[in-house]
A and B are shown apart, each in its own frame.
Chain A
Amino acid sequence: MAATPAPGTSKGAHSDVTGRRKKGPGALATAYLVIYNVVMTAGWLVIAVGLVRAYLARGSYHGLYYSIEKPLKFFQTGAVLEVTTCARSWTDASLCVFCLVSVSLQVQSEDSVLLFVTAWTVTEIIRYSFYTFSLLNHLPYLIKWARYTFFFVLYPMGVTGELLTIYAALPHAQKTGLYSVTLPNKYNFSFDYHSFLIIVMVSYIPLFPQLYFHMVRQRKKVLGHTEDYSKVE
């Protein structure tokens, strides 16, 4: 779970802020968080390894998604447990995007899916290791640097992949009336999934820059502090 439909790792961005405000958890909570983050890191590594092996076996990108579909879905669902970590923000529309899109079978062989899955995988491995090491108070500078530098490429990559995937899913959604409800019905409610997807795509326009520049500012704060020490009062 990382990329949000809005932009790349909004969850990551939000959790920085909430993580900072949060005071140290107790021993039991820490143990739980460490185990959770280790498991998530391992899971994403499994997915990454799976991707590489499948590519080497097939020799092409086509159908690569199917090779990691099960573990990916498992970890996406497990990441709902993110909510229990309490240090993360509630916004995880990336889970929504993923679920919505993954049901659209025709989309699954699209290169765009691979694009954002790759971006997420790398992001998540770094992010979960970052949290794990932070909790154990032994954070290697390399991980911190990677977390706040790789996003320059991974965010746009993930967002592009997501947008292309949603765009590819549009005709199918419209044709089949997927997830849509029409009037009349006794709840006096309607929902057009096709229009909803278009709104989601449009929402990336304001949201992605906000999150991207938030990460840029976070980067300055987190990695740039060595410059501050040279400023003398």
Chain B
Amino acid sequence: MPLHWRPPVEILDAKTKDKLCFLDKVEPNATIGEIKSMFHKNHPQWYPARQSIRLDPKGKSLKDEDVLQHLPVGTTATFYFRDLGSQISWVTVFLTEYTGPLVIYLMFYFRVPFIYAPKYDFTTSKHWVVHLACMCHSFHYMKRLLETLFVHRFSHGTMPLRNIFKNCTYYWGFAAWMAYYINHPLYTPPIYGEQQIRLALILFLFCQIGNFSIHIALRNLRPPGSKTRKIPYPTKNPFTWIFLLVSCPNYTYELGSWLGFTLMTQCLPVAFFTLVGFIQMTVWAKGKHRSYLKEFRDYPPLRSPILPFIL
């Protein structure tokens, strides 16, 4: 390469192959992120978060950190662009989808009018397990909101806008469905009474602490502002020792929490919610496990994606 090589960069539409942008002289050590900013100046409607830049029209998206001179481009660097559509930040989505269940459940708990028969408006359940369930459910979602604000470090800043509708329908819908039955005037408490509720509460709390411990451990793997990926290992906290057997123990603990809540309320809709959540988390855990295996040669072989030795 000539000493003062500053390649021109052209960006074509991945579908129509139209020339969308031509950047005359770009520094070889420019990153894709910087190129995206330059492209955004030419096309203000496409902010960097919604740009997918790739080497091949049907190929994978390049990362923001990729450097121009390390990419296999010719004398003129040709990239293909795809519009990812309106984007929304992960934080916004999480805050919205978690605030819903918190508020909605409380509306059912306080028996706000138009849900149950008018004679029950603003009454409270006579079963103490119903009060306990409300505390657990509310605690769970408060924890999630606080983790979103203070604990999690996100790899991707944004996701497609339509996800917020999909996600909120899921969380808000299920929350309403569960809350309706648990707080219903005709609610039937667990068959095995206090024993069942106590066991369920222990399971729930144990898994909430576990889940939180994993979130903290994962956060500490990654310095602030970075997107590095490292293998998580057990720390001094016994709740993290599950890393010996599982790749995504945060999901394992989440499943445990909801099993606890199902046992506590003995409510079929809660069981459904737990099942659907479990299926989705298993899909995510398998994906994560696969990327770990692909990225790290020395990944511990004893680990399973979500359930020790099973799944």
Q: Is A188 an interface residue (CB 8 A)?
A: yes
B32 to A: closest C-beta gap in Å: 29
Q: Say which one of B53-61, B239-247, B261-269, B294-302 lies at the interface with A.
A: B261-269
Whether B186 and A186, one on each chain, are in contact in the complex, defined by CB atoms closer than 8 angstroms, is no
When distances are taken between beta carbons in the complex, the residues of chain A under 8 Å from B269 are 188-189
Contact A184 B186 (CB under 8 A): yes
By size class, the interface of chain B is 10 to 19
Instruction: Flag if A188 contacts B191 (CB, 8 Å).
Output: no
The reply to whether the CB of B278 lies closer than 8 angstroms to some CB of chain A is: no
For window 218-271 of chain B, which residues contact chain A by CB distance below 8 Å?
Answer: 265-269
Q: What is the minimal beta-carbon distance from B166 to any residue of chain A, in angstroms?
A: 14
A189 and B187 alpha carbons, distance in the complex (Å): 9
**DSSP majority for the A interface?**
loop
Residue A232 at the B interface, CB < 8 A? no
- Chain A residue numbers with a CB within 8 Å of B187 are 183-184, 188
B268 touches A189 (CB 8 A): yes
Q: Is the CB–CB distance between A189 and B181 below 8 Å?
A: yes
The reply to whether the CB of A187 lies closer than 8 angstroms to some CB of chain B is yes
B29 within 8 A of A: no
Is the beta-carbon distance between B184 and A186 smaller than 8 angstroms?
Answer: no
Q: Which of A152-193 contact B (CB under 8 A)?
A: 183-190
Name the distance in Å between B109's Cβ and chain A's nearest Cβ.
15
Complex A-B: 10 CB contacts under 8 Å: A183-B181, A183-B187, A187-B268, A188-B182, A188-B187, A188-B265, A188-B267, A188-B268, A189-B181, A189-B269
Interface of B with A (CB < 8 Å)?
Answer: 181-182, 184, 186-188, 191, 265-269
A-B pairs with lowest CB-CB distance, top 9: A189-B268, A184-B186, A183-B186, A188-B267, A187-B268, A188-B181, A184-B188, A186-B188, A188-B188
